[in-house]
Structure 1
Amino acid sequence: MGTHFAVCDMVVDLGKQRTSYQGEESVKHQIYLRWQIPAERVEWKDGDGNQKEGPAVIGKTYTLSLGEKANLRKDLQAWRGKSFTEEELRGFDVAKLLGVPATLTVTHTEKNGRTYTNVASLGGIPKGMDKPSAENGVTLYDNDNAGTFENLPKWLREKITAQIDPGKVEDEGAGPRPFADDDLDDDVPF
């Protein structure tokens, strides 16, 4: 819990996923963003039973939309410290988030006897502060980077495999492209 300096180390295109909100089912194109928190250390055992140590990680799933009410847009604007212009919104490249430092506010919620850790808010790193870097590299997964699939955690691989219509990653029309090549203003982190 609390506020942490972090760095985005994973951007994953989850494809079209079934979602439920207030009893209504729908299909949404989703992405998953993950951050490393270098100051928080954790230990775990790898698949071979070897003890490992590294930065804590936390992620958040978003609908791939930059509409005015979209959570992704709200979080990105808080992270970058300014609103998007219409030009910046067109074809925004979520892959540009990889390696970008952030300030995360992390909370815990209780549900059905379990404790969940959540990213409550995002912000930029204050000027003059050391910017963390990704210790274990960064990971981009989409149809063009399918070779990284086996490096993803099992639960993400299962979610991607279960996507709706995996051959058509992008909706026609409005919304950001999952991974574009457009350049943005160099004065903001992305």
Structure 2
Amino acid sequence: MAIMATDTGGGGDFSPVPPGTHFAVCDQVVDLGKQKSEFQGEVKVQHKVYIRWQIPAERVEWEHDGKKHEGPAVIGKTYTLSLSDKANLRKDLQAWRSKPFTPDELRGFDIAKLLGAPATITITHTEKDGKTYANVASLGSIPKGMPKPEAEGELLIYDADNMGTFDKLSKRMQERIRAQIVDTGKTEAGDPDAWRSGGEDLDDDIPF
């Protein structure tokens, strides 16, 4: 999914993150709950999560509440919350950590571990209706011996156990959370049992 760099919660227009491979760090993990989507006439309801990265070497400026701010460019990607063989989340996470999941991890992996984890992130651009969109094409690990980027500001997770962070998310992200589909017909966070569970400790060279 294409996510423009304007998804920071600030006011103003940003240029999309430049194409190429960048050093990045995960700063947000958001449980979007069950979302309805339609593709080629088929309607699906799937549990979605949003993962966002900062790219410290790329700087942006914006104005919010009459004050000017400066910080790292950001970009995110929405995934179906699944670690099945063909799932994009599984493919990207295994490339990110340069290691396949163990059978135990596949039974339940806590994606909150991604917060603060460094990565290399490859960005591509697409054009639509006269606008340029930046896309997360692939992820990888930081090469050994290279400095690991650190997140600027607060690391944010939103899920059933961390609903107090809702007001810190961008307005667009809040709208997506409110749009989730639940059995009661009300807006609620996703099932925490589907969202997180234990996993074995990983090697020091693995980012999560």
Identity %: 64
Tell me the distance in 2 between the aligned counterparts of 1:55 and 1:171.
31
Amino acid at match of 1:15: G
Tell me the distance in 2 between the aligned counterparts of 1:65 and 1:126.
27
Matched residue SS, 1:121 = strand
**CA shift for structure 1 position 168:** 6.9
Query: Which residue of 17, 35, 43 maps to 2:53?
Result: 35
Deviation sequence 1:109-162 (CA, Å, 0-9, x none): 012222111110000000000000101120000111000000000000000011
Q: Structure 1 residue 9 and structure 2 residue 27: aligned?
A: yes
Query: Which residue of 141, 144, 161 maps to 2:161?
Result: 144
Is this contact kept in 2: 1:88–1:184, CA < 8 A? Answer: no
For 2:116, the equivalent position in structure 1 comes to: 99
- TM-score calculated relative to the size of structure 1: 0.92
After TM superposition, the structure 1 = structure 2 runs for residues 95-174 of structure 1, keeping only pairs within 5 Å, are 95-165=112-182, 166-167=187-188, 169-170=190-191
Matched residue SS, 1:120 = strand
Is this contact kept in 2: 1:29–1:170, CA < 8 A? Answer: no
After TM superposition, the structure 1 = structure 2 runs for residues 49-128 of structure 1, keeping only pairs within 5 Å, are 49-128=66-145
For 1:19, the equivalent position in structure 2 comes to: 37
Amino acid at match of 2:119: A
Deviation sequence 1:57-106 (CA, Å, 0-9, x none): 00000000000000000000000001111112121001000000000001
Moved more, 81-90 or 94-103: 81-90
Cα pair distance change 1:35/1:171, threshold 3 Å: closer
Alpha-carbon RMSD: 1.6
> Where does the alignment leave 5 or more consecutive residues of structure 1 unmatched?
none
Matched residue SS, 1:130 = coil
Q: How many equivalent residue pairs? A: 185
